[in-house]
Amino acid sequence: MPPRRNRRRRPRGARRPGRFIFFLLVLALAVGAYELYHLHLTGTAAHRHRGAQPAEIANASPAPAPSGSQPTPESSNLPAPFPSRSPGPSKLAIIIDDCGYNVARCEQFFKLPIPLTFSILPMTPYARQIADDAVAADKSIILHLPMEPLVAGAHDDPGPGVITTSMSDAQVQSQVDEDLASLPPVPGANNHMGSKATADARVMRDVLEVFKRDHEFFIDSRTSPQSVGLRTARELGIPTAARDVFLDNQATVPYVESQLDVAQRTALAHGTAIAIGHPNDATAQALAALIPQMQAAGVTFVPAADLVK
């Protein structure tokens, strides 16, 4: 029987090298997996953060539009196309529509220390007086051109001097001439109501050819998503722009202040903005309260004529 070999016994407590190396490999893999997972989470969070700002701007939608001081079927929440942001101050033009029927309601805006633009309805009782008083107060004036709405009713009457789709080309242009003649000289106009007429390419071309002849601009109030006013003005080479925000679809101070905030953010984000309000107490009070704050935020108030191109 062969002699038995004596095996060397491992000292107690000694570890096998293979198991230790295996443990190190597992630990290294775990650390690497954690680092990859952490990088993935960081990148995802950063991506989400970068994407939040455009979403906030996109949610700042303009309010529906009134044709007068109260909501009407002419209302539209369609935002105007924004110009690209350019270096320089953020410019905001505020147009006060529907002037011509009440002197006192307009006078409270004359005292505000910013260059407002008053849009005056033709052939109204106090049109010329308000126009003269506005100019004396170093404010701007334009024609508020009455145009046919889609819905005809007691609260949807554009008033005297209205442009309708049933007019011939000659009648449209003659009426625009009469409307312009009822006011002191103005550099341009925006539409009053007009959800039907501004969507009619023939009528808008007739209207805008008069403005082109007289070297006047046109601002599309955008009371309808089907309006072709801005597009037609550009085709004819007329200086033009479009409304971005309606201020007082609800004639309360809190609502107007919230819309002024939208107008401010629009101007700061895109360089320019046009807001339209009406001669009522709430709009005047909200403006008076927020003008200093808006100027401190970087907004420069300008006449509407400064934003047409």
48 and 141 belong to one structural domain: no
pLDDT at 114 over 70: yes
Assign residue 300 the CATH number of its domain: 3.20.20.370
The predicted pLDDT at position 216 comes to: 98
pLDDT at 107 over 80: yes
How much of the chain exceeds pLDDT 90, in percent? 69
pLDDT per position as a tens digit, 47-58 = 333 233 222 222
In the listed set 37, 59, 81, which residue is the last one of a domain according to the structure? 59
171 and 287 belong to one structural domain: yes
Does 113 map to a domain? Answer: yes
34 and 162 belong to one structural domain: no
Does 12 map to a domain? Answer: no
Range of the domain at 107: 90-307
DSSP structure class, residue 141: E
Domain count, the chain: 2
Distance of CA 179 to the CA centre of its chain: 28
**Structure token digits, residue 2:** 């062969």
Q: Which of 159, 102, 106 is nearest to 126 (CA)?
A: 102
Does 68 map to a domain? Answer: no
Angular region, 289: left φ>0, alpha ψ -120 to 50, beta rest: alpha
157 and 97 belong to one structural domain: yes
203 and 268 belong to one structural domain: yes
Does 135 map to a domain? Answer: yes
114 and 217 belong to one structural domain: yes
49 and 188 belong to one structural domain: no
**Structure token digits, residue 151:** 């819905």
The predicted pLDDT at position 264 comes to: 98
- Helix (H) or strand (E) holding 140, with range, is strand 140-147
DSSP structure class, residue 166: T
In the listed set 38, 59, 80, which residue is the last one of a domain according to the structure? 59
**Structure token digits, residue 209:** 């050819």
- Helix (H) or strand (E) holding 106, with range, is helix 103-110
Q: Which of 122, 101, 128 is nearest to 176 (CA)?
A: 122
Does 84 map to a domain? Answer: no
The predicted pLDDT at position 41 comes to: 36
Does 257 map to a domain? Answer: yes
pLDDT per position as a tens digit, 250-306 = 999 999 999 999 999 999 999 999 999 999 999 999 999 999 999 999 999 999 999
In the listed set 41, 59, 77, which residue is the last one of a domain according to the structure? 59
pLDDT at 223 over 80: yes
Does 267 map to a domain? Answer: yes
The predicted pLDDT at position 278 comes to: 98
End-to-end CA distance of the chain: give it in Å, rounded: 114
